[in-house]
Amino acid sequence: MDQPANRRPPGHKQDLLNLADGALARDLYARPSRDEVLHHNVPVRIAKKLALDNDSQIAVGLGALGAVIWRLDVRAGRVEISDSGRQLFTQTLGLDSTCLDESRYGFATHAHPDDRDRILALLANGIERPVRTHFRVIDNDGEIRWIHLKVVHSSQSPFSDSNDDSLWFFAENQTSERAEEERQKRLLADRILATLLGSSLESVEPTHFESRSLIESVGGKWQPLIEAKHIRWIGPDAAPTGRPSQIMGSELLIQIILDAMFENALDALTTNPGLHAWVRFELFEDDESLFLAVSDSGPGVPLIHRGSVFDPFFSTHPERSSGLGLTLARSAAEWHGGTLRLDHFSKNTRFIAQIPKRFRAAIKNS
């Protein structure tokens, strides 16, 4: 069949650059299949060369996007990235590119503490299907940057040989957009929480209470509900010995945190009860903080969803959940100057709330 007069011959350099720009820089996650690449008569070795070589036009295109590409040889544990790619890495993530040489996932060790475990767990579990996620890094100047990361295994990539075992990484700086989005999410959570409380969060006054009261409250409310569903309850003694800890904060807001964690556990076990279902409640502490943890015997949060569990209205079961429980719980923990996080290295779903024993008003108002 004759080619249209206005179509360039296959393999034209501009076509290769368009392929690299569109398939790699703009959307690595949805790039064309190997057959599509071959259909355009672009040899795999050329496409791979375009991704990793010092091609100034590609570097300019990636730089304009605030993006960088690199490849990890999984077997050798070695990163492949061009010299211009190293410059783009520093420009995009604000980190020295030598972190890529420290270990196969060296860049992830510079992630924000609240995101580090999630990213490392995601990568450690292996990438069988394309993955995209957001995380924060702390750059060389101590500033926080939001990074959109896409990871594709060579088996899903047209840029690798059939016997290749490698991961392709595409990182894009989305600090300006994502930071504002996160700010809006937290504002929304605070407003909803204030509506539930019937007053603004600023008007909530911290008070002193004992950690023992939380154990008694949980034992009186959630233990009977869980056992009534023939789910094994594992928890601390309802009457602990020793001197109880004094906490300064809002007991009501801490109850909201606990309710969200227990509701999440029961929701998971409603879907996948199993033969020996259980829910565990833990309370432990150090000199500075009280820690509350709830875990269950369910299958755990899928890796692909772990970056979204605290987003407003996000739920893996929207037919029976508002998707607000964990969002409001995180807001309640942050009101205390604390945190609520998912334990990414637990075999089961486990949420941990950290509450400072001395109310950190300065953090709340910062």
Q: Which of 44-53, 194-203, 278-287 has the lowest mean pLDDT?
A: 44-53
CB 201 within 8 A of CB 361: no
In DSSP notation, 181-205 reads HHHHHHHHHHHHHHHHHTS-GGGPP
Give the pLDDT score at 359. Answer: 72
Give the pLDDT score at 10. Answer: 39
Q: CB burial class (10 A; 0-12, 13-18, 19+) of residue 157?
A: buried
**Per-residue buried b or exposed e for 280-295, using 16+ beta carbons within 10 Å of the residue's own CB:** bbebeeeeebbebbbb
Give the pLDDT score at 211. Answer: 83
Q: How far apart are CA 238 and CA 233, in angstroms?
A: 12
Give the model's confidence band at 41: pLDDT under 50 very low, under 70 low, under 90 confident, else very high: very low
Q: How far apart are CA 21 and CA 174, in angstroms?
A: 18
Q: Does residue 351 register a pLDDT over 90?
A: yes
Q: How far apart are CA 221 and CA 304, in angstroms?
A: 33
Q: Does residue 25 register a pLDDT over 70?
A: no
- What one-letter code names the amino acid at 331? S
Residues of the chain above pLDDT 70, percent: 73
CB 341 within 8 A of CB 352: yes
Q: Does residue 234 register a pLDDT over 80?
A: yes
Q: Does residue 275 register a pLDDT over 80?
A: no
Q: List pLDDT tens digits, range 166-214.
A: 888 888 898 888 878 888 888 888 888 888 888 888 888 888 888 888 8
Give the model's confidence band at 219: pLDDT under 50 very low, under 70 low, under 90 confident, else very high: confident
Q: Which of 46-55, 244-253, 279-288, 308-317 has the lowest mean pLDDT?
A: 46-55
Q: List pLDDT tens digits, range 52-98.
A: 554 555 666 667 778 888 888 888 888 888 888 888 899 999 999 99
CATH numbers and ranges of domains, the chain: 13-173 (3.30.450.20), 180-365 (3.30.565.10)
> The tokens 């227990």 sit on which residue?
262
In DSSP notation, 233-259 reads EE---SS--SPPPEEEE-HHHHHHHHH
* pTM attached to this predicted model: 0.62
Mean residue pLDDT across the chain: 76
Give the pLDDT score at 353. Answer: 95
Q: Tell me the torsion sign for CA atoms 124, 275, 259, 181.
A: positive
Residues 6+ apart with CB under 8 A from 339: 114, 330, 333, 353, 354
DSSP letter for 96, please: -
Q: How far apart are CA 85 and CA 53, in angstroms?
A: 8
Q: How far apart are CA 168 and CA 151, in angstroms?
A: 6
Q: Does residue 306 register a pLDDT over 60?
A: yes
* Average pLDDT over every residue of 218-222: 88
Q: How far apart are CA 23 and CA 29, in angstroms?
A: 8
Closest CA to 79 of 19, 123, 129: 123
Give the model's confidence band at 272: pLDDT under 50 very low, under 70 low, under 90 confident, else very high: low
Q: C-alpha 361: how far from its chain's center? A: 27
